[in-house]
Amino acid sequence: MSSPSDLPLLRVEKVSHAYSPETPVLAPVSFDVADGEFVCIVGTSGSGKSTLLRIIGGLVEAKAGAVWLAGALSTEPHPEIGFVFQKTNLMPWRTALENVLLPLELLGPITPTHRSQAMALLELVGLADSAHSFPAQLSGGMAQRLVLARALVRHPRLLLLDEPFGALDALTRERLNLELLRIQTSQQQTVVMVTHSINEAVFLGDRVLVLGEQPGRILAEIHVDLPRPRNLALMGSEKFGALATEIRRHIGLVEG
C-alpha cells in the first residue's frame, strides 16, 4: 500500500491542449515532480511552456489529461500553488507591502500577523527597505523579487515560475538566480520553472524537461547531478558544460 509520502507532489498525466481544433499546442505530456524538487522546462518560443504552466496552475483547462496535486485531482487555481507570470502584474497603486498582502486579503481580513509575515518575506527577497515604495519606484529586478514574495505569501506547496527573470539584464538575473536558490533551499520549496536560458535551467534545476514544438511534447528529461549548494563557479565546470550541450542538442541547437 502506498503512503501519502510516496506520492509525487505534482503529477501531470497525459495533458494535451489546443486553443483551436486545427492547431494542437500540447501533445500528451506526462511527468511527476517530487516534494522539494526543482524542475526546469526549456523549449523554443511557442512550444507551449506557458500553456503547460497555466494548465498546472488551473488557469487553463486542458483538453485532455489530468493534473494531480498531492494525489488530488486539481482543476482550478489552488491556494497551494503560487504563480509568477511572464509579465509582472503588480498593482501600481499599492505599495510593495500591500502588493504582497493582496493574496491574503482575498482570504479574509488582514491581521498584524499577516503584516509581519509579509514583512518577513520582503526581507527574504531583500526588499525590507522598499516595503512602502510603489512598483513604479522599483527597478525591474526589485519588481521581480516583489512578485516572488507575493507568490510565496500563502506558503504554496508548489511554486510555478514562468520566465520570472526573462526581462532582466544578465547581471541582475544571475543575482536573482542565487537568491532564488537560497529561498528554495531555506523553504525546501517545490518549484517548476520555465526559462529560455539553458544555463539557468542547469544551474537551478534538479531536472530539466526539454519541450519540442508543434505540438509541444517532452523531447528529453535531463537529470542534473550537480552537487548542492550550487555556486556560480559551477557554471565553468566540465560537467555543467556537458549538461548544457546535451540540452542544446535535444533542442536542435547543436548537431550530433
Q: Which of 11, 29, 38, 47 binds ligand ATP (CB under 6 A)?
A: 47
Q: How far apart are CA 182 and CA 215, in angstroms?
A: 35
Task: Based on DSSP, count helices (H) and strands (E) in the chain, helices before strands.
Answer: 7, 10
End-to-end CA distance of the chain: 44
Nearest one of 17, 32, 6, 18 to 158, comparing CA atoms: 32
Q: Which of 12, 16, 37, 50 binds ligand ATP (CB under 6 A)?
A: 50
Scanning 7-15, 50-58, 70-78, 203-211 for contacts with Mg ion by CB under 5 A, the matching segment is 50-58
How many residues contact Mg ion, by CB under 5 A? 1
Determine if 140 is a binding residue for ligand ATP (CB under 6 A): no
Scanning 44-52, 101-109, 229-237, 239-247 for contacts with ligand ATP by CB under 6 A, the matching segment is 44-52
Q: Give residues 68-97 in contact with ligand ATP (rule: CB under 6 A).
A: 86
How many residues contact ligand ATP, by CB under 6 A? 11
Determine if 45 is a binding residue for ligand ATP (CB under 6 A): yes
Residues with Cβ within 8 Å of 183's Cβ and at least 6 positions away in sequence, in order, are 124, 125, 148, 152, 189
Q: Report the nearest approach of Mg ion to the CB of residue 162 (Å).
A: 6
Determine if 25 is a binding residue for ligand ATP (CB under 6 A): yes
Scanning 46-54, 93-101, 116-124, 170-178 for contacts with ligand ATP by CB under 6 A, the matching segment is 46-54
Q: Report the nearest approach of ligand ATP to the CB of residue 24 (Å).
A: 9
Please choose which of Mg ion, ligand ATP, none residue 48 contacts, taking the beta carbon within 5 to 8 angstroms, the exact cut-off set by kind. Answer: ligand ATP
- E strand or H helix at 217, and its extent? strand 217-223
Residues with Cβ within 8 Å of 157's Cβ and at least 6 positions away in sequence, in order, are 9, 35, 69, 70, 80, 81, 190
Q: Report the nearest approach of ligand ATP to the CB of residue 233 (Å).
A: 29
Q: How far apart are CA 217 and CA 174, in angstroms?
A: 28
Q: Which of 49, 150, 157, 173 binds ligand ATP (CB under 6 A)?
A: 49
Q: Which of 16, 51, 130, 177 binds ligand ATP (CB under 6 A)?
A: 51
In this structure, are residues 30 and 238 in contact, taking their beta carbons and an 8 Å threshold?
no
Q: How far apart are CA 139 and CA 136, in angstroms?
A: 8
- Give the dihedral sign, CA 117/186/13/19: positive
Q: How far apart are CA 200 and CA 170, in angstroms?
A: 11
Q: Give residues 170-229 in contact with ligand ATP (rule: CB under 6 A).
A: none
List contacts with Mg ion (CB under 5 A): 50
List contacts with ligand ATP (CB under 6 A): 19, 25, 43, 45-51, 86
